[in-house]
């Protein structure tokens, strides 16, 4: 990846300028989130994961996106309120962005370039599950759906990418996080 993910400008959910550089030295799990998706209950598991490991240097960075069946229609203020009221989210949530297609945010362009294929930890790959709902997933390396997860090492390298239906407490995800947290 030519540009470090730390150098890519993003905005916090309140509109303040930011970058992932504030998390240098931490392990970051970047997740594209949505409030009206069948996977939305993952917010609860993501918050538990964050609470369990934040003292060891884990940050979860949520990026709302309305790219899949308009499942994140809210404003940034509505999204923030939804996350806080329904799931008690304390991990950082950023401004709503586009994660696929021509208008893809540069952060997601960098993430997908660094790790073009998501690992599926379930028996039936998520892309196949979508077909069962009559939905054709975008071709790789595009994001498959809401709640796809990128694990970023303490030095800003994308080390793994997990399919959207990878639960926050899935052993493969937890093991990968713990492995990265153990590195100094």
Q: Would you list the DSSP string of 121-135?
A: -SSS-HHHHHHHTT-
121: CATH: 3.40.30.10
Q: Estimate the crossing angle of helix 76-87 against helix 42-53, to 10 degrees.
A: 70
Q: What is the mean pLDDT of residues 129-137?
A: 93
DSSP state of 15: S
Q: What is the mean pLDDT of residues 124-141?
A: 93
Q: Could you tell me if 177 and 160 are in contact, meaning their C-beta atoms sit under 8 angstroms apart? A: no
Q: 83 an active-site residue? A: no
Torsion of the alpha carbons at 168, 174, 176 and 181, rounded to the nearest 10: 110
Q: Is the pLDDT score of 2 beyond 60?
A: no
d(CA 20, CA 52): 21
Q: pLDDT by residue (tens digit) across 38-93? A: 999 999 999 999 999 999 999 999 999 999 999 999 999 999 999 999 999 999 99
- Residue 109 belongs to what domain range? 5-182
What's the number of domains the chain is made of?
A: 1
This prediction has a pTM of 0.97
Q: pLDDT by residue (tens digit) across 148-178? A: 999 999 999 999 999 999 999 999 999 999 9
d(CA 176, CA 137): 25
Residue for token digits 């309140």? Answer: 14
Residue for token digits 């392990």? Answer: 27
State residue 180 phi and psi, 5-degree precision.
Answer: -70, -40
Cα separation values, 62 from 17, 68, 172, Å: 15, 16, 20
State residue 2 phi and psi, 5-degree precision.
Answer: -75, -40
SS3 label, residue 152: strand
Q: pLDDT by residue (tens digit) across 83-121? A: 999 999 999 999 999 999 999 999 999 999 999 999 999
Q: Could you tell me if 19 and 138 are in contact, meaning their C-beta atoms sit under 8 angstroms apart? A: no
Catalytic residue, from 8, 21, 37, 174: name it. 37
Q: What is the mean pLDDT of residues 8-31?
A: 97
SS3 label, residue 82: helix
């Amino acid at each position: 990846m030519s540009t470090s993910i730390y150098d890519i400008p993003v905005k916090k959910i309140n509109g303040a300028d930011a970058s992932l550089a504030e998390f240098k030295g931490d392990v970051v799990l970047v997740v594209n989130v949505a409030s009206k998706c069948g996977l939305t209950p993952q917010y609860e598991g993501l918050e538990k994961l964050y609470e369990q490991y934040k003292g060891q240097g884990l940050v979860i960075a949520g990026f709302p996106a309305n790219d899949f069946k308009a499942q994140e229609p809210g404003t940034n203020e509505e999204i923030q309120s939804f996350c806080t009221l329904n799931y008690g989210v304390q991990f950082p949530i950023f401004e709503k962005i586009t994660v696929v297609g021509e208008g893809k945010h540069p952060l997601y362009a960098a993430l997908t370039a660094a790790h073009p294929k998501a690992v599926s930890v379930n028996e039936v790959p998520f892309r196949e599950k979508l077909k069962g709902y009559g939905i054709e997933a975008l071709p790789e390396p595009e994001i498959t759906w809401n709640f796809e997860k990128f694990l970023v090492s303490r030095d800003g390298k994308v080390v793994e990418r997990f399919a959207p239906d990878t639960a926050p407490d899935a052993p493969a995800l937890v093991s990968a996080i713990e492995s990265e947290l153990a590195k100094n």
